[in-house]
């Protein structure tokens, strides 16, 4: 097991992860693997011991260090406010969550912390606003996803419910099992994969072209001609789009990419003409837009927020053409 953990750490070391973060990952993995299924057989061949296998869904740690805290406010106090909301969800959304359900942390972003609630029948995702996220922001995203999913049910995840206690807010969506979160890391497009251990896997050159082209096509596809509404403030490099796990087992074709890509975040919708929206896509996605602080943020960027890696001109143009074609055949 020790050698397996070191192989994982070497993978991240090659991608440029710092030694401090590698040590944190090592500790988390050692703790996680203690819960994995272990069968011990004595010299006579008799079964001796077995511990239960825990299915890997995301980051193998608790949520404490993934809360983004404003200023000098107590981290422990902010974590307690998140837990307070989660504990009271059964009384706020009784048709979705019950007191018997297990809730576990799996991921995080600048806007929300991500949890999975497991019921006897299914799993759902809970997205809780970060401490730094202004109250009301999560509700806007919930409403945006509801709106988009009505016209695009096969592309956009449809929220099941929203709740707030006045201190924290959240919405719940169906859980997409071990989804591959499309992202950028260092100088690569790729995906975060949760199993058998949480890691970033860069795409091949062919897959990068296919995935980025499909993202652009879906942005065009989502444009609402009746209301002149388009998706904005996308974090293409941060998991707004995911691929279903099933895609890994299929030929990586345009048809399969369109079928298995889903939008799971929608921070903002803007009023804009389609022609103008297309010009912004051509302008913004050909460049790197990543920033560490708000002072570094380019205020002219409207759609492509915080992306570490520019898309190829070929992928952008082909994605636009594909999206326009899909608008003529919306059921494809």
Q: Does residue 208 share a domain with residue 320?
A: yes
Q: Which two tokens stand for residue 74?
A: 């107590």
CATH of the domain at 145: 3.30.200.20
Please state which of the ranges 2-11, 86-95, 284-293 shows the lowest mean pLDDT.
2-11
Domain contains 319: yes
Same domain, 38 and 59: no
Contact 28, 199 (CB under 8 A): no
The answer to whether residue 36 scores a pLDDT higher than 60 is no
* pLDDT the model gives residue 332: 54
Q: Does residue 243 lie in a domain region?
A: yes
Cα(245)–Cα(222) distance, integer angstroms? 23
User: In this structure, is residue 234 part of a structural domain?
Assistant: yes
The pLDDT, as a whole number, for residue 19 is 79
* 104 pLDDT more than 50: yes
Residue 193 lies in a domain: no
pLDDT in tens, 135-185: 999 999 999 999 999 999 999 999 999 999 999 999 999 999 999 999 999
Residue 198 belongs to a domain: no
User: What Å distances lie between residue 185 and 12, 40, 90, 256, CA to CA?
Assistant: 11, 39, 37, 24
Residue 325 has pLDDT above 90, yes or no: yes
Number of domains the chain is built from: 3
- Give one word for 178, left, alpha or beta, with left for phi > 0 and alpha for psi -120 to 50: left
Q: 300-311, pLDDT tens digit by residue?
A: 999 999 999 999
> Could you tell me how many residues make up the chain?
332
Q: What is the arithmetic mean of pLDDT over 53-79?
A: 89
> Is 281 within the bounds of a domain?
yes
User: Are residues 109 and 157 both part of a single domain?
Assistant: yes
For 202-240, the pLDDT digits (tens) are 999 999 999 999 999 999 999 999 999 999 999 988 889
Let me know whether 116 and 230 are in one domain. no
The model's confidence at residue 37, banded by pLDDT at 50, 70 and 90, is: very low
Q: 85 and 106 share a domain?
A: yes
The mean pLDDT value for 301-329 works out to: 95
Distance between CA 234 and CA 213 in Å, rounded? 15
Burial grade of 123 (CB within 10 A; 0-12, 13-18, 19 or more): middle
Residue 240 and residue 311 in one domain: yes
Is residue 199 a part of any domain in this protein?
no
Pick from 114-118, 285-289, 291-295: least confident: 291-295
Residues 305-332, mean pLDDT to the nearest whole number: 91
Whole-number pLDDT of residue 31: 61
Q: Which of 124, 191, 134, 181 is CA-nearest to residue 158?
A: 124
Whether residue 195 is contained in a domain is answered as no
Do residue 8 and residue 98 come from a single domain? Answer: no
H, E, C per residue of 276-313 = HHHHHHHHHCCCCCCCCCHHHCCCCCCCECCCCCCCCH
Answer yes or no: do 23 and 59 share one domain. no
Same domain for 263 and 293:
yes
Mean pLDDT (the chain, rounded): 89
Q: What is the helix (H) or strand (E) element at residue 92, kind and residue range? A: helix 75-92
221 and 320 both lie in a single domain: yes
Q: Where are the beta strands (DSSP E) in 166-301?
A: 169-174, 180-185, 188-193, 199-202, 229-232, 238-243, 261-263, 268-271
**Do 59 and 138 share a domain, yes or no?**
yes
Cβ neighbors of 145 (< 8 A, separation 6 or more) are 156, 157, 158, 159, 171, 173, 263, 265, 266
- Give the residue-averaged pLDDT of 92-101: 94
Q: Say how far residue 145 (Cα) sits from the centre of its chain.
A: 14
3-state secondary structure of 123: strand
Most confident of 21-30, 188-197, 269-278: 269-278
Tell me: pLDDT of 40 over 50.
Answer: no
pLDDT of residue 32: 57
Residue 331 — very low, low, confident or very high, per pLDDT cuts 50/70/90?
Answer: low
Of 326 and 121, the structure prediction assigns the larger pLDDT to 326
Is residue 200's pLDDT more than 90? yes
Cα of 289 vs its chain's centroid, Å:
19
pLDDT value for 164: 97
Domain shared by 41 and 66, yes or no? no
H or E segment to which residue 179 belongs: none
Please say if the pLDDT value at position 1 is more than 50.
Answer: no
Residue 120: per-residue pLDDT: 85
Q: What is the predicted pLDDT for the residue at 163?
A: 98
Domain membership of residue 22 as a residue range: 1-45
Biggest CA–CA distance in the chain, Å, is 75
* pLDDT bucket at 42, cuts 50 / 70 / 90: very low
């Amino acid at each position: 097991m020790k050698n397996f953990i070191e192989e994982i750490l070497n993978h991240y070391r090659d991608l440029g992860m710092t030694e401090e973060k590698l040590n944190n990952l090592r500790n988390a993995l050692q703790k996680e693997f203690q819960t994995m299924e272990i069968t011990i057989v004595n010299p006579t061949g008799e079964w001796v011991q077995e511990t239960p296998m825990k299915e890997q869904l995301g980051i193998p740690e608790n949520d404490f260090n993934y809360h983004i805290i404003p200023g000098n406010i107590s981290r422990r106090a902010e974590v307690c406010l998140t837990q307070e909301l989660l504990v009271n969800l059964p009384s706020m959304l009784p048709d979705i969550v019950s007191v018997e359900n297990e809730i576990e942390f799996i991921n995080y972003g600048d806007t929300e912390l991500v949890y999975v609630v497991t019921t006897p029948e299914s799993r759902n995702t809970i997205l809780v606003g970060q401490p730094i996220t202004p109250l009301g922001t999560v509700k806007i995203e919930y409403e945006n996803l509801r709106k988009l999913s009505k016209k695009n049910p096969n592309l956009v995840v449809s929220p099941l419910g929203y709740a707030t206690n006045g201190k924290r807010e959240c919405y719940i969506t169906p859980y997409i099992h071990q989804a591959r979160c499309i992202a950028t890391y260092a100088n690569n497009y790729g995906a975060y994969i949760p199993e058998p251990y949480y890691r970033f896997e860069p795409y091949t050159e062919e897959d990068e072209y296919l995935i980025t082209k499909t993202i652009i096509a879906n942005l065009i596809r989502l444009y609402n001609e009746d209301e002149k509404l388009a998706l904005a403030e996308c974090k293409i490099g941060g998991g707004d789009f995911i691929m279903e796990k099933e895609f890994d087992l299929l030929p990586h074709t345009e048809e399969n990419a369109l079928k298995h890509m889903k939008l799971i975040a929608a921070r903002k919708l803007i009023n804009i003409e389609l022609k103008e929206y297309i010009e912004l896509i051509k302008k913004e996605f050909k460049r790197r837009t990543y920033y560490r602080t708000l002072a570094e943020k380019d205020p002219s960027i409207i759609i492509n927020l915080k992306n570490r890696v520019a898309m190829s001109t070929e992928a952008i143009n082909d994605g636009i053409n594909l999206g326009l074609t899909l608008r003529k055949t919306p059921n494809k």
